[in-house]
Structure 1
């Protein structure tokens, strides 16, 4: 009898807790509502629309006409500039990403030495990441690397006659790569955070065993930093494949000289907004998404053999 009375008495408490739980969930959903609305109308909606347009002939000025897989067939079999833009983009990614990560790690290790004014240096080195993607910086970079730019003027004082770096097809892409590497600040900050998590006792113990700085770097620093390297690598690959502003400004939107800077995103933009082939551009966008997804999956799969976590797992 007593147990029955107790269970009956606990029912109102359960109801009160349920009401409180529902009220808390309601408040949480209310604050999350703007994000969900943005996700639906600014991300998922446009993505589904572009997927539909990729199977249509759509010029913005007229209603889309269903053409099936025609855009994709043309892309892979009849468009030589598609392969050219892919080649340029792959060269850009596979050179700029490793160089940026190496440079970011080197600077992070220098800043991790406990120097005075660390916050100031950290801010100074991070500024290029904030400004590097802007049109103004790209224009400044183009002027600086031009035939009569600052770099060539300095080299001329040394007796070196340098080419016009942004107008010469041999060097134009590398000027964009150099601009990308200059924007190493975000990766550097992440590396610096990772370095500060490495216990000093590990270096002290290895020093007692006679390990020098180089050996400590490869046996302690790199293995412990592999999760950070993995994160930076994935983020930089995704970002680099979408690079647009630098190539557009430096090449005046043409991808020249001789298509040497025709990045994939620039070619996509030209198809969509210069030639109004929005259906074709949508197909290009989905191909780019698939390429990035494949490379990201490959990096994730390969990480099992080289990324080491604190719990000993991979």
Structure 2
């Protein structure tokens, strides 16, 4: 900077032209910025129109008693109803019980816990096996990916027939092994309650039955989800495995590392970005799952609400009961839950991710 000022002092003509150059440069940068904004504007308008405006309008609707038309502005009335009546309530006889939203949220939690860890673990082991150079691996990769690209509704209908209590293949297999038939999608008793009864105990009346774990119907939905989702997870893991440097495996083998040690100390740390991505995507997908629950329960969330996920509850509140404002309020609660879980994963999970440099 000092040399530049000295040069300007020694050359007055150059000093006079310097402000003009700055002005031209400023105009050029401003023009380039406007051109960039013009190119991005259509995408920004679409983003605002289809993402942010529905969010803002949904928040506004949630402050109203809104049927199919606005009826009355009630402020936080819908949210008060959610947290004082429909989330949890106190029964005069049985004490604290779960309301419909509380039960739907618990069903969604069971579903997330029962699908995310098994799906990721199974996908990892399958991907690790498929990554090995063996004959027929291309065909196997295609076979495992087919469930993911198959119509979810059509596949769910097939699964529903497999677990039909009268003509289903699942009960046929149980009979073949001398085991009793099950109601599957029609059994309202949680697995925990069944285990307590099987060992001669009785379920406490003061304890909500929903806390006894998932029902067989929900377990069937979990099995279908795992089958349907592993194809996508496998593709992500295969992409990650392809980026692991081969010399790391060779160096570890020279040091005497076995397959288990290679997987634990080399493969998993380098696949941590993929694990992090799949965990976030799977959690969001689990809390937004709708199609599977709708097909398996016929849109009713039965038996006795044991397959009523939170998105299905919102759908029924909106379309079946016409409680548009209330459904919008529940949607805002679900949005807050998903946003909080995502933030927690980023806040604490990203620290354990090892990025390759």
2:159 paired residue number: 141
1:73 and 1:208, CA in 2 relative to 1: closer, same or farther beyond 3 A? same
User: Is 1:59 the equivalent of 2:67?
Assistant: yes
1:222 paired residue number: 268
- Match of 1:184, SS state, is helix
Say whether the 8 Å CA contact 2:112–2:283 is kept in structure 1: yes
Counterpart among 62, 65, 76 of residue 69 in structure 1: 76
2:146 paired residue number: 127
- Match of 1:243, SS state, is coil
Say whether the 8 Å CA contact 2:244–2:270 is kept in structure 1: yes
- Match of 1:47, SS state, is helix
Matches of 2:223 and 2:297 in 1, distance apart?
A: 15
Say whether the 8 Å CA contact 2:294–2:300 is kept in structure 1: yes
- Unaligned 5+ residue runs, structure 2? 1-7, 87-98, 189-214
- Match of 2:185, SS state, is coil
Matches of 1:63 and 1:291 in 2, distance apart?
A: 27
- Give CA deviations for 1:45-87 in whole Å, capped at 9, x if unaligned: 1100111111110011x22421111111111111210100011
TM-fit CA distance, 1:164: 3.1
Say whether the 8 Å CA contact 1:76–1:82 is kept in structure 2: no
Say whether the 8 Å CA contact 2:105–2:309 is kept in structure 1: yes
TM-fit CA distance, 1:31: 4.2
TM-score using structure 1 length: 0.89
- What RMSD over aligned residues (CA atoms) do the two structures have, in Å? 2.4
Matches of 1:106 and 1:54 in 2, distance apart?
A: 45
1:100 paired residue number: 119
Say whether the 8 Å CA contact 1:86–1:263 is kept in structure 2: yes
2:46 paired residue number: 38
Higher Cα Rg: structure 1 or 2?
2
TM-fit CA distance, 1:4: 4.7
Counterpart among 206, 221, 224 of residue 179 in structure 1: 224
User: Is 1:260 the equivalent of 2:327?
Assistant: no
Matches of 1:255 and 1:39 in 2, distance apart?
A: 33
- Unaligned 5+ residue runs, structure 1? none
1:198 paired residue number: 244
1:3 and 1:156, CA in 2 relative to 1: closer, same or farther beyond 3 A? farther
Matches of 1:126 and 1:46 in 2, distance apart?
A: 34
TM-score using structure 2 length: 0.79
- Match of 2:148, SS state, is helix
TM-fit CA distance, 1:155: 4.0
Count of residue pairs the alignment pairs up = 309
Matches of 1:131 and 1:19 in 2, distance apart?
A: 54
- Give CA deviations for 1:112-162 in whole Å, capped at 9, x if unaligned: 112345454333322322335x32222122112212223333444444443
1:7 and 1:153, CA in 2 relative to 1: closer, same or farther beyond 3 A? farther
Counterpart among 50, 53, 61 of residue 58 in structure 2: 50
- Match of 1:78, SS state, is helix
- Give CA deviations for 1:197-218 in whole Å, capped at 9, x if unaligned: 1111112111122111111111
